[in-house]
Amino acid sequence: MSEAHTQQAQLDWDAQGQPISRQFDDVYFSKENGLAETHHVFLEGNQLSQRFAELSSHQRFVIGETGFGTGLNFLCAWRLFEQQAPSEAKLHFISVEKYPLSLDDLQRALSLWPELKNWADALVQQYHAIHLGMQQLVFAQGRVTLNLLIGDALDMLPQLEARVEAWFLDGFAPAKNPQMWNPNLFRELARLSAPQATLGTFTSAGFVRRGLIEVGFQMQRVPGYGHKREILRGVFNPTIPTSYKQAPWYSYPTPTSTERKALIIGAGLAGSATAYSLAIRGWKVKILDRNPEAAQEGSGNPQGVLYLKLSSHHTPLSQLVLSGFGYTRRLLQQLPQGTDWSACGVLQLAFDEHEYQQQQKLLTAFPKELLHALNQAEAETYSGVPLEMGGLLFPEAGWLHPPALCRWLLSHPNIQFKPNQEVTDLQRVGKYWRALSYGTLIEEAPIAILTCATDSLNFIPGAKPPLKNIRGQITQLAATADSRKLNTVLCAGGYVAPVRQETHTLGASFALKATDLELSTEEHQSNLALLQEISPQLHQELQAEQQPLDQLQGRAAYRCTSPDYLPLVGPIADADLSAQLYAKLRQDARLRPNTPCPWIEGLYLNTAHGSRGLITAPLAGELLAAWLEHEPLPLPRRIAEACHPNRFWLRRIIRGQ
């Protein structure tokens, strides 16, 4: 993977104010009229005006693009979609970009097109945390989805799961960017193309035309725009079908109902995010919780940290965290900053030699826009409080009041939140799941989604996935005049957050064997010791030594986690029957049998986000909606599979357990 080398675009600007790539010494669009060029090459080249108009209600149209650049092609397609498509149709735009523009450069470039201002403003508002991997942006109340694949096209496209109906083959000219225009790219376009997918590109290079023909596109040269004499257009009509075969246990379940209704059990962050992701897609959602308000259990802390625990090896968990951070960070633009969240940055202190060495590896693996090092003096200046060491700064991170985000997510008009509803049983009767409380029917729907942490196990038939609870306790200390100078979240073994409502939050403990949620003086003491490790001066200013432990304010809750620390997100299969159907996997784990997966009809799971829920749970709502809607996945296929509930019984079969 070449993610470590991905960086922001370096631009120069010509006399007319148009951007030029310093990396490729090439223009981003025609100097004659970039807008007209986009319409001719990509919109007309793919007959989009007619095809948008012919879409049916709730139908989705998927466009794929190489080279997002300034976003001009996306904005033009979005505008045309709004003009031509039925009001309930959906546009899904997928674009790969190795060198994303900075926010300032994006705004400057798009200011050249005042006729696109409404759409450009919406893009600019969400253009935050555009980092490595797949980044999902949602616009127009869910009608338009943009997947940005940040990285080299030849790294990113093989990770994509989609069926593209129209291609914008853009990017810098083959002579300027020969690494991208090669047979591997053309093969990926073919793999991802739906039957009869169309393609438009500004180039007419012979090797491009021949390469596309070789993988199944019927290509023709047509007149170009401006000084371009010819361009290429094509239709995907392969003579040899693709041989790729998806494993049945990781396939999309075939929907058995056309009703777009779901019931969700659990109104924490996972449940609220799942409800929202479905609601913006037009689903009617009822979400049940045993508490009088949402976010009263694992998602109920007054302050949580948007903390990126990354690996320099780009593990599945690290990639999930990076994509999830971006999605959550963009969601937070909807909330008032300062009261419900703060982009104050997170400073991870280099508190020992091992941590220092880990941070050095991260500095070589990720760009400075995501993280960079501060020495001790710089860390003190940035944080506003005395520190004994420097560390890594994540400038776009910060803290969040999780209940506020849950309330905002649940405010969508397609969601009905039903508090004080203790679900004791979940039964499949005919085509509906029925949620009951001590024998009394509460709600029913064709789709049931379990987002109630380890309690989800109570409603899964047969063999259960391995979930466990880990208790965590926070401690709250009243702010002082000096402690109010803390400007950023500080982390070492634990964390302390800047003041919110005259209180600092610090923690959090990890009690692996605890079985109750009573406040513990021992865990308060542990949290105060973590504060001492972070900043002895702050420890003193908050009078931590003088605090009577039995009178300290705090909160305890369970984190639900899995053995591999990845969440469980997706449809659920009958584990016992699967063990019988796929027993041959014990002899050969590479088998891809034709036997369809024995799905538990209409039952889905989104849980086990552990201590990373603020970052992973909102994007997991999008992933679960993609499984239900048969959308392009918002994560690389291998990451989605790594989070799939079926992974545990699959491992047991393969290992002969």
Give residue-wise pLDDT tens across range 153-165.
999 999 999 999 9
SS3 call for 148:
strand
**C-alpha to C-alpha distance for 58 and 382, rounded to whole angstroms:** 49
Does the pLDDT at position 504 exceed 90?
Answer: yes
**C-alpha to C-alpha distance for 176 and 357, rounded to whole angstroms:** 38
Q: Looking at residue 655, what is its pLDDT?
A: 93
- Which of 180-184, 258-262, 284-288 is the least confident region? 180-184
Task: Name the CA radius of gyration of the chain, rounded.
Answer: 26
Does the pLDDT at position 425 exceed 70?
Answer: yes
Helix residue ranges per DSSP H, 574-612: 575-581
Calculate what percentage of the chain has a pLDDT beyond 90. 85
434: β partners:
427, 444
**C-alpha to C-alpha distance for 180 and 318, rounded to whole angstroms:** 26
**C-alpha to C-alpha distance for 288 and 266, rounded to whole angstroms:** 6
Reported as a pLDDT band with limits 50, 70 and 90, residue 19 is confident
Q: Which amino acid, 533? A: E
SS3 call for 139:
strand
Q: Which two tokens stand for residue 482?
A: 């000096």
pLDDT digits (tens, 9 = 90+) for 20-45: 888 777 777 766 677 999 999 999 99
Question: Residue 253 carries which DSSP code?
Answer: P
Q: Looking at residue 310, what is its pLDDT?
A: 94
Mean pLDDT is highest, among 45-49, 236-240, 590-594, for: 45-49
Reported as a pLDDT band with limits 50, 70 and 90, residue 10 is confident
166: β partners:
63, 198
Distance in Å from the first CA to the final CA of the chain:
34
Please give the backbone phi and psi of residue 64, each rounded to the nearest 5 degrees, phi first: -115, 145
Whether 608 and 567 have beta carbons less than 8 Å apart is answered as: yes
Q: Looking at residue 6, what is its pLDDT?
A: 61
Does the pLDDT at position 115 exceed 90?
Answer: yes
Average pLDDT over residues 573-577: 96
Instruction: Give the CA distances from residue 272 to residues 223, 342, 443, 520, in Å, rounded to whole numbers and listed in that order.
Output: 51, 21, 17, 29
Whether 455 and 327 have beta carbons less than 8 Å apart is answered as: no
Identify each DSSP E strand in 289-445 by its residue range. Answer: 304-306, 341-342, 346-349, 372-374, 391-394, 398-400, 415-418, 425-429, 432-437, 440-445
Helix residue ranges per DSSP H, 316-472: 316-331, 353-365, 376-383, 402-410
Whether 117 and 78 have beta carbons less than 8 Å apart is answered as: no
Taking 3-state DSSP, the helix, strand and coil percentages for the chain, each rounded to the nearest 5, stand at: 35, 25, 40
Does the pLDDT at position 558 exceed 60?
Answer: yes
**C-alpha to C-alpha distance for 219 and 235, rounded to whole angstroms:** 7
Does the pLDDT at position 381 exceed 50?
Answer: yes
Reported as a pLDDT band with limits 50, 70 and 90, residue 243 is low
**C-alpha to C-alpha distance for 603 and 426, rounded to whole angstroms:** 10
Q: Looking at residue 601, what is its pLDDT?
A: 97
Q: Looking at residue 242, what is its pLDDT?
A: 60
Whether 264 and 449 have beta carbons less than 8 Å apart is answered as: yes
Does the pLDDT at position 184 exceed 60?
Answer: yes
**C-alpha to C-alpha distance for 312 and 319, rounded to whole angstroms:** 10
167: β partners:
64, 199
CB neighbours (10 Å) of residue 494? Answer: 22
Does the pLDDT at position 299 exceed 80?
Answer: yes
**C-alpha to C-alpha distance for 573 and 604, rounded to whole angstroms:** 9
Q: Which two tokens stand for residue 367?
A: 């760009």
Average pLDDT over residues 398-405: 97
Average pLDDT over residues 330-355: 94
Residue that wins the pLDDT comparison between 427 and 245: 427
Whether 160 and 192 have beta carbons less than 8 Å apart is answered as: yes
Q: Average pLDDT, whole number, for the chain?
A: 94
Reported as a pLDDT band with limits 50, 70 and 90, residue 388 is very high
SS3 call for 68:
coil
Residues in the chain: 657
Q: Which amino acid, 375? A: N
Q: Which long-range contacts (CB under 8 A, 24 or more apart) does 79-84 make?
A: 79/116, 79/119, 80/43, 80/48, 80/49, 80/52, 81/48, 81/52, 81/144, 82/140, 83/52, 84/48, 84/49, 84/52, 84/53
450: β partners:
265, 605
**C-alpha to C-alpha distance for 390 and 622, rounded to whole angstroms:** 36
Reported as a pLDDT band with limits 50, 70 and 90, residue 175 is confident
Question: Residue 500 carries which DSSP code?
Answer: B
SS3 call for 477:
strand
CB neighbours (10 Å) of residue 655? Answer: 10
Give the sign of the dihedral formed by CA 20, CA 23, CA 26, CA 27. Answer: negative
Reported as a pLDDT band with limits 50, 70 and 90, residue 244 is low
Does the pLDDT at position 257 exceed 90?
Answer: no
Instruction: Give the CA distances from residue 174 to residues 26, 30, 206, 500, in Å, rounded to whole numbers and listed in that order.
Output: 11, 16, 11, 53
Reported as a pLDDT band with limits 50, 70 and 90, residue 241 is low
Does the pLDDT at position 124 exceed 90?
Answer: yes
Q: Looking at residue 29, what is its pLDDT?
A: 73
**C-alpha to C-alpha distance for 590 and 362, rounded to whole angstroms:** 34
Does the pLDDT at position 653 exceed 60?
Answer: yes
Q: Which two tokens stand for residue 399?
A: 């803290």
Query: CB-based burial of residue 571 (10 Å sphere; 0-12 exposed, 13-18 middle, 19+ buried)?
Result: buried
- Which of 414-418, 465-469, 542-546 is the least confident region? 542-546
**DSSP tally for the chain: helices H, then strands E:** 19, 31
Reported as a pLDDT band with limits 50, 70 and 90, residue 437 is very high
SS3 call for 117:
helix
Average pLDDT over residues 301-325: 94
The pTM (predicted TM-score) of the whole model is: 0.95
Q: Looking at residue 1, what is its pLDDT?
A: 40
